[in-house]
Chains A and B, each alone.
Chain A
Amino acid sequence: MGAIVLRGGAPYGLDPHDIVIDDGVITAMMPSNQAGSNALDGEGVELELDASGCTVIPGLVDLHTHLREPGREDAETIATGSQAAAMGGFTCVHAMANTSPVADTAGVVEQVWRRGVEAGIVDVRPVGAVTVGLKGEQLAELGAMAASAASVRVFSDDGLCVHDPLLMRRALEYVKTFDGVVAQHAQDPRLTEAAQMNEGALSARLGLAGWPAVAEEAIIARDVLLAEHVGSRLHVCHVSTAGSVEVIRWAKARGIPVTAEVTPHHLLLTEELVESFDPIYKVNPPLRRAKDVHALREAVVEGTIDIIATDHAPHPREDKDCEWAAAAMGMVGLETALGITVEVFIESGLLTWRDIADRMSTIPARIGQVPDQGMPIAPGSAANITVWDPSAQGPLEVDALVGKSGNSPYLGQRMPGTIRHVLFRGRPTVVDGALA
């Protein structure tokens, strides 16, 4: 394949540039409309992509994605989830381990990894289970998964909490061998038995069993202390409460190597939506109060929460088309993550595009230790590139959800733009808002 020229887009929302990509790498960048930029025309150029009026950032990296394969291919497959990811501007996703069978052996993670390579439009990085079968009883073969072709570096029982403190300690220690990280789904199981929504005045009124903030905060507090004690890295999944932010802030100030993520929905939506009893809003951890949302935004701005991760959780229609208690927990999020982030942080002026690139690409790539991802828009970087078009605003249509499931809470709501192009390792995966 010859060179690609991405014309007129503004890296990090700054000055428009023409970017030349050749053989999977950014080879040149020059300000648009400058004498000499026409030199980019010519024989070697195979494809020109118009990015005028758009913002160019590194391809997004999601540290928390449920691709459902193997086991729940009715909800999503590695192929359809990869497509949803590409359409959302991602060039890498981390596939959570709570599949069936569970990704707790080298065999399963290699299979997931291989299916990702076959789909070939994003890097699919399998997350390995911490414990066998996610049962929280004995460590899975962490070393074998790390050494496999999938080179797993992130381990998580996500969906469930590694609640046994001794097992958590051992996992934190063990992954040091290959500089892995344990990503904890912080939820004390006893405090959240049959829990349906955030516990407080609203759950009291709606008669739905409460999911108290302390069930998350207590586990995070324990885990940061364990991480300090054994000198290991800890990553906290989907932080959802103001109290959790305080604990993590305290831990970071103490020098504990903890990173944390927050989902777009916890940055935007609040528990009042549960009043409709519409299970589209049922998610775990649950939607919280406005003051939690505020604290989470603040934490992202100051860096206490390092990254934004989708927790993309596809479910077939019948798992949401029912009463609240029977419904599955989770929302799809790959296609809308950047839009929500732009709405929350760019339109409000809280963050710059460079900050967004850090929090959705560079830092998640570093936490997951993904080669060639999260690199700057600069000559020499692997060409994983996302082009955001702020002019294409409008309500989110169901057609925009290209994954297999449509359980998005944002259908019909205004999106502040769309993804125009995506390049994955130098190849276009999305062109003019459609899968290439």
Chain B
Amino acid sequence: MQMLGKHLLSAGDLDRAQALMILDTTAELATVTERSVKKLPTLRGRTVVNLFFEDSTRTRLSFELAAKRLSADVITFSAKGSSVSKGESLKDTALTLEAMGADAVIVRHGASGAPYRLATAGWIDGSVINAGDGTHEHPTQALLDAYTLRSHICGGQGDLQGVHVVIVGDVLHSRVARSNVLLLHTLGAEVTLVAPPTLIPLGVESWPCSVSYHLDDALMQADAVMMLRVQAERMAGSYFPSTLEYSRLYGLDAPRLELLKDRAIVMHPGPMNRGLEISADVADSSRAVIVEQVANGVNVRMACLYLLLGGAGSQAGGD
């Protein structure tokens, strides 16, 4: 069995075989957790730390639940707000965690690359899982999205060859988009990014995807459309003239839903701005798999912890 590296920092770290291994492991774990046995002994005695420098209740809870279902000891550090603006605390916190003997550190941070610092600066020994860093990456979100796509479009097996995914919204500031473009490409999907040019990063030509400024054209090709959260504050930065104009051009509403192919699905990493990038009726429609994404998130994170912390190894040992 092909092992993962020590850390999970970028969706780009995963080759096709590794990504599929995570998805397949997720499927196995899903069948286990669907049965009455909600807890596996795999990580008994291991310490998993949730280190959240940025508020994200849903991601934090998802990782906590995943670690607990694998019987790990879970510690959560929430370093909220202003004290983290000066970087020293990342190092100090890391040293504290190291003293506690953390086997894995799941880190969410407002600064791009913070998990890389944790993984490479020599402050800690354990595995580092990137739970979202600044505007850089969010690899477990991409994995749960891939898992969701696979179960709806590919019968829950294999890769995503030929699947066309349209990602719409604030790509410039989106770690979800970055990780998804990388992982979906690795798995054989075709990706089209749709946004106003102001919200597409300069240099996007080097990404393995296409770019369009016109949502309606792109929707007609899509097997899945992923709506990204757009913060109304972006208006102040002149990224678009008004929220009204944004939602008129790039929001997904009921009439646009009609443009989609019959079986195409609607995704959103949450939290949603209903009425801005997605209308309430679309969010609640039968095409939306948004709640399912959340459920898959727990299983995908279980798989990541299981594989990163030597779950495969302990299996070989007959545990």
Contacts and interface: CB of A to CB of B under 8 A. Distances in A.
A324 B117 contact: yes
A223 to B, nearest CB: 25
A324 B114 CA distance: 7
A201 B120 CA distance: 23
Chain B interface size, as a band, is 20 to 34
Given A321-B91, A323-B87, A212 B113 contact: no
Contacts of B110: 325
B121 A321 contact: yes
B201 interface: yes
A196 B112 CA distance: 10
Contacts of B120: 276-278
B207 to A, nearest CB: 7
A277 B202 contact: no
Contacts of B204: 201, 204
B25 interface: no
Interface string B32-73: 000000000000000000000000000000000000000000
A181 interface: no
B113 A206 contact: yes
A201 B206 CA distance: 6
B117 A205 contact: no
Nearest to B117: A323
B280 interface: no
B203 A322 contact: no
A91 interface: no
A318 interface: yes
Interface string B129-161: 000011111000000000000000000000000
Contacts, number: 90
Contacts of A16: none
A204 B177 CA distance: 11
B156 to A, nearest CB: 31
Most buried by A among B87, B136, B201, B206: B87
A323 B90 contact: yes
Contacts of B301: none
A207 B121 contact: no
Contact of A326 (B111, B121, B201): B111
Contact of A205 (B88, B91, B207): B207
A184 to B, nearest CB: 25
Contacts of A202: 203
Nearest to B91: A321
| Residue with the greatest number of chain B CB neighbours at <10 A, chosen from A196, A201, A203, A206 | A206
B111 A325 contact: yes
A323 B113 contact: yes
Given A207-B136, A207-B175, A324 B111 contact: yes
Given A206-B113, A323-B117, A318 B201 contact: no
A389 interface: no
Contact of A210 (B85, B113, B202): B202
B87 A201 contact: no
A196 B133 CA distance: 15
B178 A207 contact: yes
B109 interface: yes
Given A278-B120, A322-B88, A204 B113 contact: no
A208 interface: yes
A326 B203 contact: no
**Which of B88, B113, B135, B202 has its CB near the most chain A CB atoms (within 10 A)?**
B113
29 contacts: A199-B202, A200-B203, A201-B203, A204-B201, A204-B204, A206-B112, A206-B136, A207-B133, A207-B136, A209-B135, A276-B116, A277-B117, A278-B120, A321-B87, A321-B88, A321-B91, A321-B121, A322-B86, A322-B87, A322-B91, A322-B117, A323-B111, A323-B114, A324-B111, A324-B117, A325-B87, A325-B110, A325-B113, A326-B111
Given A199-B202, A205-B207, A208-B135, 19 more contacts: A200-B202, A200-B203, A201-B203, A204-B203, A205-B178, A207-B133, A207-B137, A207-B178, A208-B112, A209-B135, A277-B112, A321-B91, A321-B121, A322-B91, A323-B113, A323-B117, A324-B112, A326-B111, A327-B87
Q: Identify the 5 closest CB pairs spanning chains A and B, nearest first.
A: A322-B87, A326-B87, A277-B113, A207-B136, A201-B203
Interface of B: 85-88, 90-91, 109-114, 116-117, 120-121, 133-137, 175, 178, 201-207
